[in-house]
Amino acid sequence: MSLPIYFLSGSLLPGFSGSPIYNQKGVLIGIGDGGLERGLMNVSWCIPASNLTALESSTETTLPATLGKAGLLYSAEVSITVPMEVDQLDYTAMQQQVDKKYESFSYGNFTFFQTKTRTWEEMKRTSIDPENMESLSLEFKEGNLNIDYDVLDFDIYEDANNGFAIAIPAGMELTYDNEQDVFSVDLTNFLEGQYFDLFYYLTEHDGNPVNDIVNDVKSEFSGEVGGLTLDEKYTKANKINDSWTADYRLFTGDESYVDEQLGEVGTFFYLNVIHNDKVAFYSLAIAYIPTSRADVNKAFDNGIDCVNYYDDNATSCDFFESFMQIIASAHLSTKSSLY
């Protein structure tokens, strides 16, 4: 099929296919149609409204043979239970399922909607810049840390007001941490969740947002960890479009310290700063490495096979798989609506 289309910013949510789209004068200009994925970023489109006239005059009586591929042309999804018998369809109950799936989380000027759940491989394959994820997984491989990437799923949330998209470990809750004054992820039910933190925040800046945020992180944590050392290998800048850039930084704490709950730990900080000339949205993942845990030390020394022998190494496998998932969650944040 060859057809003119109009690109849209953000996601066309499930159930909105066929929606009328008007311009600022109230004139019908398009019909909501579909979308594609680019990591967390969604590229949606509509077809020009003039196609309604062509449809009305069409003499075609069969569906296109390529209709089976239509499932690839959506940037958001929702699964609901539908009875097999058409005469048993309860449209009110079906809509309630959709509404529940798309309950929003709002705080301040942010309204986040969960638009889909994706696997590690899907995120890596379609991400704007998967290089850091690939580099980290290569380091794991070289250290004989053979983890199961098939268990790393992410819930994708998109902000309707500011146009940012974030990933969090599937099944976890997005919250607002009033004490820290940042968005955070409740990792209470996350495997080995006590060893990780995941934060998101939007701030204005005067021209050097990455350095400003890095300095804030150092000010907050350097005292405990004896300073932070930048890993140049993971220092990258990715141009999202003419206005927005994503900068990535990985820091390690210079010294281990004793935490009241966790014991002696080392620290990793992964920072992703998405910014234009006025504002910066950042995601920060913190991993606390339990240096006194025998199973983790053994895995570092001898390697571990979480694919074929998970049951023999369950707790240490959970730790390393959770580590990878938390770092990837911070890395994947992006600008969904490019304006």
* Sequential pLDDT tens for the chain (339 residues): 577 888 876 667 666 778 899 989 999 999 988 776 665 666 788 889 998 888 889 898 887 777 666 655 555 666 666 666 766 667 777 667 666 666 678 888 898 888 888 899 888 877 778 889 999 999 999 999 999 999 999 998 888 788 898 999 999 999 998 888 899 999 999 999 999 999 999 999 989 999 999 999 999 999 999 999 999 999 999 888 888 999 999 999 999 999 999 999 999 999 999 999 999 999 999 999 999 999 999 999 999 999 999 999 999 999 999 999 999 999 999 887 655
Burial 170-189 (b: 16+ CB within 10 A, else e): bebebeeeeeeebbbbebee
Give the model's pLDDT for residue 78. Answer: 61
Q: Note the CATH number of domain 103-335.
A: 3.40.1000.10
Distance CA 83, CA 87 (A): 9
In angstroms, what is the C-alpha Rg of the chain?
A: 23
* DSSP character at residue 72: G
Beta carbons of 255 and 148 less than 8 angstroms apart: no
Start-end of CATH 3.40.1000.10 domains in the chain = 103-335
The token pair that represents 246 in the structure block: 């994503």
Give the model's pLDDT for residue 101. Answer: 64
Burial 99-136 (b: 16+ CB within 10 A, else e): eebeeebeeeebebbbbbbbebeebbeebebbebbeeb
Q: By C-alpha distance, which of 278, 297, 281 is closest to 289?
A: 297
Start-end of CATH 2.40.10 domains in the chain = 1-96
Q: Note the CATH number of domain 1-96.
A: 2.40.10
Cα dist. 133→119, 147, 270, 310 in Å?
13, 14, 11, 22
Identity (one letter) of the amino acid at 93?
A
